[in-house]
Structure 1
Amino acid sequence: MPGSGTDHTKPRLDLAGPIVVLVEPQLGENIGTAARAMGNFGLSRLRLVNPRDGWPNIHAKRASSGADDILDNAELFDTLEAAIADCQTVFATTARGHDQAKPVVGPDQAAREISERATAGQTVAVVFGRERWGLTNDEVGLADRIITFPVNPAFASLNLAQAVLLVSYEFFKLSTAGALPFTMPTKSAPAGKEQLFAFFADLERELEKVEFFRPPEKRDTMTINLRNIFTRMQLTQQDVQTLHGVIMSIAEGRKGPARGGVLDGQEAGMLRALLAEHAQGRVPNERGPVRGLSRLLRRNPTDAERALWDGMTKDRRFAGRGFKRQVPVGPHIADLVSFPLRTVIDLVPDQEEDAAGAARAEKCAWLSARDYRVLPVRTAAIQADVAAVLDDLDAAIGSATSEQ
């Protein structure tokens, strides 16, 4: 497992860049860290002029963090003249003005000139001086150009490896057009407007229930502001599914939509049968009893309801379609309804009394008359194969959507 950004399984990028020349480096650690900086940015040719502590140096290897091949192939010279003898263009780095009539460039301009000359087949070197006092006047005099860095003039001294890194970085950035080694992974496609509209509808419906939009005359402005918050986020499909789940979990309480209550599955079925025989306890022109019953039914699901709802919440095909359990639709209570899709899933029990069947037929007719598509699902089918039921529902919903 590679760590700290080092991965030896990836191909190494070696650029046709400049030779790095270190003049009389004093510490092996500085040579090692300079080699590390070179390796970071694709440079590999290192020349050493009379290192103080001799060569090879174990401290350099320890500080190089794996840039061993650069150190192993480093060339050793007695003088700077010998180190740059085969070069056509030489840049000298310095933080001090040496009162010499030479072009002075920053590291970005130097990178451009180095690239041009290397492309033309020239051998280019960048010379770095000693840690304590840099390059002498005579040594700067051997160069064609001077590189200096835009630093604080009152504190201009850079560590040797830092100076090597700045030049290497600018050359690497130019050579690779600034391409980053990785970007944010795209694990989910951007959310479509249809999915966002469904999320907004559910969110606003739940906020309406808790009287969030007050005063009423500001509702339109508050709705626009709320939608703009989520639109600016550039949400993915997975983001919307997660947010939708969060909103519905908050709206439906701590116990969750398919747990809780005081009745087991069989008792919950008996409750539904009783309500169906009495037309679901409807009171004409009153919403209170219907809402109270919907909450009671939502808290006490049957085994078939629980299995189907659990399957739908885990099936990504139904995410964002806006289905809710045991919701009042006019004077009736729908087992599952999606208001954005105007689709009702009606669970049909295995055995049903005549009165209950008549009440169900009345409910379905009422819904159909108001442009709701009613999809009947038998509870026996859910208990036999939930996955097959979900496939059938997805196909039916998809065909209905394509017809619209």
Structure 2
Amino acid sequence: MSGTDRTKTAADLPGPVVILVEPQLGENIGMAARAMGNFGLTRLRIVNPRDGWPNLHATRAAAGADHIIDTVELFDTVQAAVADLNLLFATTARPHDQAKPVVGPDIAASEIVAHIAGGGGAGILFGRERYGLQAEEVGLADRIITFPVNPAFASLNLAQAVLLVGYEWFKHAAGGVLPNAMPERSPRAGKEQVASFFDNLVTELDKVEFLRPPEKRDTMLVNLRNIFTRMEPTKQDMHTLHGVVMAIAEGRKGPAKGGVLDGAQATRLRALLAEQGGAGKPSDDGGSVRGLARLLRRNPTDAERLLWDALRSDRRFAGNFKRQTPVGRHIPDFVSFTQRVAVELLNADETQAIAADRAARKSWLEQRNYRVMVLAATDVESNLAAALDQLAAAATPEV
């Protein structure tokens, strides 16, 4: 019963009577009742059900449409079942050679809605599973309903026929309103907001040299701008897109928590960079080294990630330290320009090349009046609070 929600108010619309003529199987009656419930029809009359009434199979097949099954009206003849109605439709897929208007379910539904609104009573006849309605039963109707189906295979299941008519009736009676319309959107973004976002996007794209070659830059910008103007973004859309761009940009620059490498891989990458001469020395393959350095900046080791999170949240340091930021030709792990303090993390089992690279960096920084503090990565991971206390003491200016 997917889609059934007992907490919602049922549709309360005056509708036509559904009349099943001598149905054979209880399951078909139950499925017809279920189809009625789907589209707000509640009045079901049955003429001479073959297997009697009530019928357990019908109740089970109704799948919760008990309010229809429990109020079924039984009749011995079709004439008795339609006696109180003054607009009657007969559903059939076979020609009966009767001078009677033939309409589709949509036209019939429109007539039924108008007729009931004027105080009339309307009904729809559905025939037997095997051969439908007899000619004299069709003769009782004012109109014939037929469906636009494949003429070579026109037979419909009883419940299917009820569902098609019920759908068209409910669509007209309820004004065609869909139950799950799109929720109210935030106001549409103004041109100024879109332009501000686009300028920010272009700035970040320029940093990664996306808009190249130069002779195609203008065309690329027009194409990009058209993407956002076609989508008619809301203010919330612009806020979200701006956040996405900044998250990607920050991840590229370094402060992002995640990355494409885990802590162990980042540690090995640091060793490789040191062995290639470090960020401050020339290399035969400078482009590759610079690429690896950028990768390292957005992929901190586990200890770097822990310490960076703490430096941004601890009131003693918040806003003072930067991560993987150049100081001259060197890039310490962390640096505070205001306090002139640099922090280096010492990883276990690091190579001689890494140690030599750090020593050269430490000497260079100290010559320029930076206090350089070396913290063991294992100490940061095992006792972060003590490492932060050490750093706070080192960052306090000497009197």
* Preserved CA contact (<8 Å) 2:253 2:297: no
Aligned to 1:209: 207
Q: CA deviation at 1:156?
A: 0.8
Q: Deviations over 1:146-181 (max 9, x none)?
A: 000111111111111111111111111111110111
Aligned to 1:93: 91
Instruction: Please show how residues 73-222 of structure 1 align to structure 2 within 5 Å.
Output: 73-186=71-184, 188-222=186-220
* Preserved CA contact (<8 Å) 2:250 2:256: no
* Preserved CA contact (<8 Å) 1:129 1:135: yes
* Preserved CA contact (<8 Å) 1:104 1:148: yes
Aligned to 1:248: 246
Q: Deviations over 1:339-370 (max 9, x none)?
A: xxxxxxxx995899xxxxxxxxxxxxxxxxxx
Q: Distance in 1 between matches of 2:151 and 2:29?
A: 26
SS in 1 for 2:88: strand
Alignment counterpart, residue 306 of structure 1, candidates 305, 308, 312: 312
Instruction: Using the aligned pairs only, state the percent identity.
Output: 66
Q: Distance in 1 between matches of 2:174 and 2:245?
A: 45
Cα gap change, 1:137 to 1:248, in 2 (>3 Å) = same
More moved, 185-194 vs 115-124: 185-194
Q: CA deviation at 1:250?
A: 3.2
Name the TM-score, length of structure 1 as normaliser: 0.63
Question: Which amino acid in the other structure matches residue 26 of structure 2?
Answer: G
Cα gap change, 1:302 to 1:135, in 2 (>3 Å) = closer
Aligned to 1:227: 225
Q: CA deviation at 1:115?
A: 1.6
The count of residues paired between Structure 1 and Structure 2 equals: 290
Q: Distance in 1 between matches of 2:104 and 2:230?
A: 40
Aligned to 2:2: 4
* Preserved CA contact (<8 Å) 2:254 2:297: no
Q: Deviations over 1:19-60 (max 9, x none)?
A: 100001011111111111111111111100001111110111
Q: Distance in 1 between matches of 2:340 and 2:185?
A: 46
Q: Distance in 2 between matches of 1:237 and 1:306?
A: 30
SS in 2 for 1:247: helix
SS in 1 for 2:183: coil
Aligned to 2:51: 53
Q: CA deviation at 1:105?
A: 0.6
Q: Distance in 1 between matches of 2:256 and 2:134?
A: 81
Name the TM-score, length of structure 2 as normaliser: 0.64
Instruction: Please show how residues 7-86 of structure 1 align to structure 2 within 5 Å.
Output: 7-86=5-84
Q: Distance in 2 between matches of 1:14 and 1:303?
A: 58
SS in 1 for 2:68: helix
Q: CA deviation at 1:193?
A: 2.9
Cα gap change, 1:306 to 1:155, in 2 (>3 Å) = same
More moved, 116-125 vs 171-180: 116-125
Q: CA deviation at 1:307?
A: 4.4
Q: Runs of at least 4 residues of structure 1 off by over 4 A?
A: 295-305, 347-352
Cα gap change, 1:348 to 1:302, in 2 (>3 Å) = farther
Cα gap change, 1:130 to 1:259, in 2 (>3 Å) = closer
SS in 2 for 1:91: strand
Cα gap change, 1:244 to 1:79, in 2 (>3 Å) = same
* Preserved CA contact (<8 Å) 1:249 1:256: no
Q: Distance in 2 between matches of 1:90 and 1:154?
A: 27
Q: Distance in 2 between matches of 1:121 and 1:187?
A: 41
Q: Distance in 2 between matches of 1:143 and 1:94?
A: 11
Question: Which amino acid in the other structure matches residue 64 of structure 2?
Answer: G
Q: Distance in 1 between matches of 2:254 and 2:182?
A: 34
Question: Which amino acid in the other structure matches residue 244 of structure 2?
Answer: V
Q: Distance in 1 between matches of 2:126 and 2:73?
A: 15
Instruction: Please show how residues 245-324 of structure 1 align to structure 2 within 5 Å.
Output: 245-253=243-251, 256-257=254-255, 306-307=312-313
Question: Which amino acid in the other structure matches residue 157 of structure 1?
Answer: S
Q: CA deviation at 1:235?
A: 2.7
Q: CA deviation at 1:305?
A: 7.9
Cα gap change, 1:255 to 1:95, in 2 (>3 Å) = same
Q: Distance in 1 between matches of 2:134 and 2:144?
A: 13
SS in 2 for 1:248: helix
Q: Distance in 2 between matches of 1:305 and 1:198?
A: 31
Q: Deviations over 1:170-226 (max 9, x none)?
A: 111111110111212246444333332222112111222222222322212210110
Q: Which has the larger radius of gyration?
A: 2
Question: Which amino acid in the other structure matches residue 229 of structure 2?
Answer: T
Q: Distance in 1 between matches of 2:308 and 2:41?
A: 69
Q: What runs of 5+ residues in structure 2 fail to find an aligned partner? A: 259-293, 326-335, 342-399
Q: CA deviation at 1:251?
A: 3.2
Q: CA deviation at 1:14?
A: 2.6
Q: Distance in 2 between matches of 1:248 and 1:234?
A: 21
SS in 1 for 2:35: helix
